[in-house]
A and B are shown apart, each in its own frame.
Chain A
């Protein structure tokens, strides 16, 4: 439900990061989104089209990489990847896991820019 405000923040951050590349055009923006981040990739993509209009990001691609939840299993002494988000148990030994290593990320990973028009 708050995808538009998240994407607006992505557009602002990316626009600010273009400082060292004057005139550059953004081709793609890649996000890292944890499976437990409470956002819907399709909704992010939909909002992206609206929020990027009239900015250097207009017409660029949004790539959303969804990261699985990784928990630490104390009995196994290892980090384990969950198959879904319906049960927080170790898929190997079945022990309940409460220590999360990955799953709530909400990050801008990288951007792909075209510098060709810089200074033109």
Chain B
């Protein structure tokens, strides 16, 4: 028996990382700011995004969204009510979106819905990931900003339970603050835990229902675009 050790030193997600790098280059070339929204199922990503799309459009921004779910196009229909171009990605059992899915849908979408213009001359493209605080953290979609959402109906210790996701996020959004009190939500504890896992991260406290906190969030998006375009 002749044994030999062969050094490979290859990233397991190399293929995804390469595709994501390609997407990042094309987003930058098209001047579109891409955000990846991640959370558990039921945090209210869709309601938050619905309101965000509507408010951005009212301010004259060109926005679009890709939304991932295992099955159904319910979320795409809800988001499309904002008037923004929206496309549903059904993963059929896969627990996350990956760069290949995004690339494939964008290619097709450019041709059909966005008038052949690369990324349609968009200002913002939001990607609503599959509701899951574990797997989406490993898959780069070429986004500039990763937003993690946490609702007041979830435990304040979610950041401690899912450190990878919270640590890899660029900003955090707390949703459903209009029902914080009946839920017994401990705000200080939640903020402390987020900061323990991702020190110094920007945190927005919002309600898609009442609009509370949306102003700060929209300002942040405008700031990002300012920096992005520069």
Contacts from A to B (Cβ < 8 Å):
1-2, 5-6, 9-10, 13-14, 17, 21, 27, 31, 36-39, 85-89, 96-98, 100, 104, 106-116
A114-B1 contact given A13-B12, A85-B163, CB 8 Å threshold: yes
B3, B95, B200 — most chain A CB neighbours (10 Å): B3
Chain B interface mostly: mixed
CB of B40 within 8 Å of the partner chain: no
In contact, B10 and A108 (Cβ under 8 angstroms) = yes
* B212 CB-CB contact with A under 8 Å: no
Q: Is B95 a contact partner of A111 (Cβ separation < 8 A)?
A: no
CB pair B12 A106 closer than 8 Å: yes
A/B pair count, beta carbons within 8 Å = 107
Which partner residue on chain A sits nearest B161 by CB separation? A86
**Chain A contacts for B43, CB-based, 8 A:** none
Point out the residues of chain B lying under 8 angstroms from A10, CB to CB.
Answer: 12
5 A-B residue contacts at CB 8 Å?
A: A13-B8, A21-B6, A38-B165, A85-B164, A113-B4
List 8 additional contacts besides A106-B11, A114-B1; criterion CB under 8 Å: A14-B8, A38-B137, A38-B164, A87-B197, A88-B167, A107-B11, A114-B3, A115-B4
With a CB–CB cut-off of 8 A, which chain B residues contact A104?
164, 168
Asked if B29 CB lies within 8 Å of chain A CBs, one says no
| A contact residues around B4 at 8 Å (CB) | 21, 112-113, 115
Complex alpha-carbon distance, A31 and B15, angstroms: 17
A residues in contact with B1, CB < 8 Å: 114, 116
Chain A residue nearest to B195 in the complex (CB): A96
B163 in contact with A111 (CB, 8 Å): no
Contact yes or no, B96 A2, CB < 8 A = yes
CA distance in complex: A111, B6 (Å)? 5
Cross-chain contact B7 with A36 (CB below 8 angstroms): no
B2 at interface by CB-CB < 8 Å: yes
The listed residue (A5, A36, A96, A110) touching B199 by CB distance below 8 A is A96
Residue of A nearest to B162 (CB): A38
* Residue from B15, B137, B163, B200 with most neighbouring chain A CB atoms (10 Å): B163
A109 x B9 contact (CB < 8 A): yes
Q: CB-CB < 8 A to B135: which residues of A? A: 1-2, 38
* Residue in B5, B132, B134, B195 whose beta carbon sits within 8 Å of that of A111 in the complex: B5
Query: CA of A116 to CA of B3 in the docked complex: distance in angstroms?
Result: 8
